């Protein structure tokens, strides 16, 4: 087991959640978090890190000078750093490419120099858009559903598996994550770096500062709680588009297992998500939010899709379950209730973030 861990993107939602969770599970571990604090709300995690004795370094993975081997001489790197927005690739391509691609190169160089193991959080958005948009779907009263008959391998009613075809465009964000996966494999072979890649679906939970382009489930609960308007965007404006969701505490359990079994899982590329049983449409999410918060909010219907949109994505995580025995515990209702409790307990500091 490692006892020195560097979490990149460590003040972000996933990074801080993993750092705090691992420190609570292993109080004797030395955990360092590095983050550029660019995302609004990430500064709120700094007192939480400090309270547990987790060291914080203000730095940017785009700068190799911020990843000094002498300062960051750790055994394991967990890379949660990224610009996570698909839409950002259409508005700020330079930042997405420099952060997600150049940043990976700098991280791999650090790992090579200090011979650290690398646990990389990739994304389900590495799967190309055109094949996902061509799936045979059924329209049910509250959601879209994957039909049983498909003409593409790697897809079933359980969702998208690792052997889904990768040919085609996938957004600049998705391309940077897939390119990072390829670079990691080259460094594994050339320099003997141990690495595990998790292709994460929609991870959510408390301390995620949800926005319209990332963190949709937190955004939905927060909009009901703070009475902010929402929109069903695309697909006729019905809100029937579907995603699976994974509570960050469930991701923590998997990451802890992977750290303990790193050598045997070295080289694995694994889909990690909530799966079909933990999926919701936006319409179903609205119904749950109304029941949990006791409030309704104005929701506009916008028929046209945004660039990079897909009607449904469900993660088939059967391979990671087979290899590790891991599976999600938190169901959608419990996850949204957890987010609601967090909002109500921290309303004073969160109201401005979700304004």
Where do the domains of the chain lie, and which CATH numbers do they carry? 1-127+170-200 (3.40.50.720)
State the pTM of this model.
Answer: 0.96
How far is residue 18's CA from residue 125's CA, in Å, rounded to a whole number?
21
Please report, in tens digits, the pLDDT of each residue of the chain (355 residues total). Answer: 568 999 999 999 999 999 999 999 999 999 999 999 988 889 999 999 999 999 999 999 999 999 999 889 999 999 999 887 887 778 889 999 999 999 999 999 999 999 999 999 999 999 999 999 999 999 999 999 999 999 999 999 999 999 999 999 999 999 999 999 999 999 999 999 999 999 999 999 999 998 877 899 999 999 999 999 999 999 999 999 999 999 999 999 999 999 999 999 999 999 999 999 999 999 999 999 999 999 999 999 999 999 889 999 999 999 999 999 999 999 999 999 999 999 999 999 999 888 7
How far is residue 108's CA from residue 188's CA, in Å, rounded to a whole number?
10
CA 13 from chain centre, in angstroms, equals: 9
DSSP helix, strand, coil percent of the chain (3-state; round to 5) = 40, 20, 40
pLDDT at residue number 2: 62
Based on DSSP, count helices (H) and strands (E) in the chain, helices before strands: 14, 17
- Bridge partners, 198 (sequence order): 121, 270
Using only C-alpha atoms, what is the Rg of the chain? Answer: 19
By DSSP bridging, strand 242-247 and strand 279-281 are antiparallel
Instruction: Round to the nearest angstrom and report the end-to-end CA distance of the chain.
Output: 42
């Amino acid at each position: 087991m490692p006892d020195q861990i560097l979490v990149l993107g460590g003040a972000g939602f996933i990074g801080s959640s993993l750092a705090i969770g691992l420190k609570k599970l292993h109080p004797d571990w030395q955990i360092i978090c590095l983050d550029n604090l660019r995302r609004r709300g990430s500064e709120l995690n700094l007192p939480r890190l400090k309270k547990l004795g987790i060291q914080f370094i203000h730095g940017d993975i785009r700068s190799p000078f911020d990843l000094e081997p002498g300062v960051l001489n750790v055994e394991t790197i967990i890379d949660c750093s990224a610009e996570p927005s698909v839409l950002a690739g259409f508005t700020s391509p330079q930042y997405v490419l420099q952060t997600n691609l150049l940043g990976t190169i700098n991280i791999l160089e650090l790992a090579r120099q200090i011979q650290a193991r690398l646990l990389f959080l990739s994304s389900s958005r590495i799967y190309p858009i055109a094949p996902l948009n061509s799936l045979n779907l059924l329209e049910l009263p509250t959601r879209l559903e994957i039909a049983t008959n498909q003409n593409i391998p790697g897809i079933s009613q359980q969702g998208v598996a690792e052997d889904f075809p990768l040919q085609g465009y996938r957004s600049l964000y998705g391309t940077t994550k897939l390119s990072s996966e390829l670079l990691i494999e080259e460094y594994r072979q050339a320099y003997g770096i141990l690495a595990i890649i998790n292709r994460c679906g929609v991870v959510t939970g408390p301390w995620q500062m949800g926005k319209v382009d990332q963190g949709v489930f937190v955004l939905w609960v927060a909009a009901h709680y703070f009475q902010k308007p929402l929109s069903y965007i695309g697909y006729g404006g019905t809100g029937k588009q579907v995603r699976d969701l994974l509570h960050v505490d469930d991701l923590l359990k998997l990451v802890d297992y992977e750290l303990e079994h790193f050598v045997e899982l070295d080289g694995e590329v694994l889909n990690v998500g909530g799966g079909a049983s933990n999926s919701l449409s936006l319409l179903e999410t609205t119904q749950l939010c109304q029941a949990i918060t006791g409030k309704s909010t104005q929701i506009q219907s916008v028929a046209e899709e945004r660039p990079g949109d897909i009607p449904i994505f469900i993660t088939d995580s059967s391979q990671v379950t087979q290899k590790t025995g891991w599976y999600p515990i938190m169901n959608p209702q419990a996850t949204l209730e957890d987010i609601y409790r967090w909002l109500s307990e921290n309303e004073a500091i969160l109201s401005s973030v979700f304004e």
